[in-house]
Structure 1
């Protein structure tokens, strides 16, 4: 399986003193703004719903792709071909990405629900076949996503939106989103029985109008 590493976009939030207050520069053209939506405590703990809003900053991107990775004990492995949707405008307002699964079952895949700034919607249904094989006795999960808005995400840059780590010790664990980009930094990841990450990339495809 081909392994790919995510590259994090640099964030440029420059404060400029002007008049009586401080203002922020506008995001650069041909970038995406994406921000997490705060969930209820129950949803946040279970990871049953993880939601983001996004919009284009005069971007040429016309598609959104998602990749699923699993952790093999040392590195993240790309498990599937990218799934995605193409041919939508991203500069006409705000879109939404929602990762959702049955709140009563933690070892189940996310469905990915998308609504687009230009109108329309799409749902990508997850495959739970691997997750369903996990032992259920004392099974716990730690879930995280991006916690802060990103105003200048460049086209074709991949970032993690969900990281899930499973254990069977019955203990409560936490995980940071940088467990994807720097797995050696996460003790929770090192000691888990299974972990997955879902990434997003806003892309431009010349073959799609």
Structure 2
């Protein structure tokens, strides 16, 4: 039995999201990055601190008549030439189960405090009105990254019919080994061998989402 995580921290999104209205196959999920206007960015308040552009990343999810009843967020680091779960057997950092995913949309927010190398805060807002909150510590970062710049990338577009059980990367962060800044995409999670940014990095990490039926 997986451990259930729920916390009472609220993420005030000030009514900026609405339903998607897509027509996708049944028993799938809709997962989409939310593009915020400058006015909306100014209104967002996360864990008691206002946020600015390029520090706040927001996703919305909803079920397409799905049988899935759970969602997990996993954390991986690039180690020994492969993505390795960070902390624990499977890298699970947040999970919520026994939910109705066909109701109101849920939300996932990732925020960094300050520079691109700062620790990430992650919050989940579930259709059940429950919340989870965690800090994503960059466990593999060492003195090698002192003064280095980290590139952050998220999903560029929506997935309207994400199959249940398919793990999907939503944020990647790469610390550069040299002065050259290598462009990076979340697709490097599935194809790291062809990502120059990952291969030449001092440290890289990925956060993923998987919707499950248990």
- Structure 1 residue 128, shift from structure 2 partner: 4.4
The TM-score, its normalising length taken from structure 1, stands at 0.75
- Per-residue CA shift, 1:128-185, capped at 9, x if unaligned? 4543655322x11111111110011111110101111101534433201211111121
Write out aligned runs for 1:18-33 (5 A). 26-33=23-30
**Contact persistence 1:108–1:132 (CA under 8 A):** no
**Contact persistence 1:101–1:111 (CA under 8 A):** yes
**Contact persistence 1:73–1:190 (CA under 8 A):** no
| Number of residue equivalences | 177
* Counterpart among 48, 65, 69 of residue 58 in structure 1: 65
The structure number with the bigger radius of gyration is: 1
The TM-score, its normalising length taken from structure 2, stands at 0.74
* Counterpart among 63, 69, 81 of residue 74 in structure 1: 81
* SS at 1:188 equivalent: helix
Which range moved further: 176-185 or 75-84?
75-84
**Contact persistence 1:140–1:171 (CA under 8 A):** no
- Structure 1 residue 85, shift from structure 2 partner: 1.4
Are residues 1:163 and 2:160 paired? no
CA distance in 2, matches of 1:40, 1:197: 26
**Contact persistence 1:155–1:204 (CA under 8 A):** yes
* Counterpart among 174, 190, 197 of residue 188 in structure 1: 197
* SS at 1:131 equivalent: coil
Are residues 1:172 and 2:169 paired? no
* SS at 2:197 equivalent: helix
List gaps (5 residues or longer) in structure 2: 1-20, 39-51
- Per-residue CA shift, 1:56-105, capped at 9, x if unaligned? 11112111111111112522112233131122221112111011120x23
User: What corresponds to 1:19 in structure 2?
Assistant: none
List gaps (5 residues or longer) in structure 1: 1-23
**Contact persistence 1:36–1:52 (CA under 8 A):** yes
**Contact persistence 1:108–1:131 (CA under 8 A):** no
CA RMSD of aligned residues (A): 2.3
CA distance in 1, matches of 2:143, 2:110: 21
Divergent runs of 4+, >4 A: 39-42
CA distance in 1, matches of 2:172, 2:136: 15
* Counterpart among 47, 52, 56 of residue 49 in structure 1: 56
CA 72–101 in structure 1, closer or farther in 2 if over 3 Å, else same: same
